[in-house]
Amino acid sequence: MKILNFGSMNLDYVYSVQEIVRTGETVRALSRKVCCGGKGLNQSIALSKAGAPVWQGGLLGEDGGPLRAALEESGVHTELIHGVAGPSSHTVIQVDEKGRNCILFYAHEGLRVTDGLIAETLAPFGPEDWLLLQNELDNAAQMIREAKARGMKVILNPSPANEDLLSVPLGLVDCFLLNEHEGAFLAGEEDPSRVLSALHGKFPQALIVLTLGEKGSVCLADGVRYEQGIFPVQAVDTTAAGDTFTGYFLAGLLEGREIPQCLRRAAMASSIAVSRPGAADSIPLPAEVEQALAAAE
């Protein structure tokens, strides 16, 4: 089995600030760094670092060399990435002194995924392989239909949660990995205590993993509910927290680990990531995760 992650790859312009800027306000940034990011890239690197065989699909502009290099340095297969004219997608990220962030995203040509590109990218994959998607690229509906026609399992991280999701055949998704906001959007339920059951009611066939920030995570699989707390740390940058969790959880499933162990490893990997600056650079290696888990026992 192998994983195709058809997702975004961005150059992240990260500004450290005392407080995130408000409407009409001008603030002085404390520092600026240019990093490799995008939910697609971050999740592929997390998957690869966690030991999963992962191929990255998507589009890179003429300045995308550092993004391709970051993927390859982490062991991600990049031969399915296609080039486009002009700049790559990029973000402007503010990170405050408490590790909270806000993100402005500019796509250019990086989201324009055609039916032909989808067919070409999915061609090497078949039954038992997995397709991982986020909601940052165009044409997710066709990606899902094409993958299911090939017998692939579809995993969706519906981020960002917006109206575009309503055109996606969500009933074909095998696994949802989402946070509180995304879960509430898809469930149509604001009460956090009811979101998981509401999602299960809408998508009874799917494995559902819901991350709850400081409250940890919950998972519903085959009618069984699992819970996992967080490992408290001093947060430095939460940008890659969810992507790290996603990568480690899916890598554990691919290895055949039990769900409680997958959740525990993902929680620890995420806690390590938020204690470090940056996105892809903050994702830990398995040895670091195992050492931290042993110390926590």
pLDDT in tens, 49-82: 999 999 999 999 999 999 999 999 999 999 999 9
Residue 35 pLDDT: 85
Q: Is the peptide bond before 277 cis (omega within 30 degrees of 0)?
A: no
Nearest alpha carbon to residue 89 among 118, 125, 69, 60: 60
Cα dihedral 101, 102, 106, 111 sign: positive
The residues of the chain scoring below 70 in pLDDT are 110
**Structural domain boundaries of the chain?**
3-7+39-81+114-296
What's the pLDDT tens digit per position in 204-231? 999 999 999 899 999 999 999 999 999 9
Task: Report how far residue 133's alpha carbon sits from residue 154's, in angstroms, rounded to the nearest whole number.
Answer: 8
Dihedrals phi, psi of 177, to nearest 5 degrees:
-120, 115
User: Whole-prediction pTM value?
Assistant: 0.91
Residue 36 phi/psi, 5-degree rounding, is -90, 135
3-state secondary structure of 130: strand
The token duo for 256 is 């055949």
- Predicted local confidence at residue 115, as pLDDT: 95
Peptide bond into 158 cis (omega under 30): no
Q: Which fold has domain 3-7+39-81+114-296?
A: UDP-N-acetylmuramoyl-L-alanine:D-glutamate ligase (3.40.1190)
Give the CA distances from residue 266 to residues 69, 157, 185, 262, 286, in Å, rounded to whole numbers and listed in that order.
25, 15, 23, 6, 10
pLDDT of amino acid 216: 95
State the pLDDT at residue 179.
Answer: 94
Check residue 297 and give its pLDDT: 81
Give the pLDDT of residue 271.
96
Question: Tell me, what amino acid is at 50?
Answer: A
In three-state secondary structure terms, 189 is coil
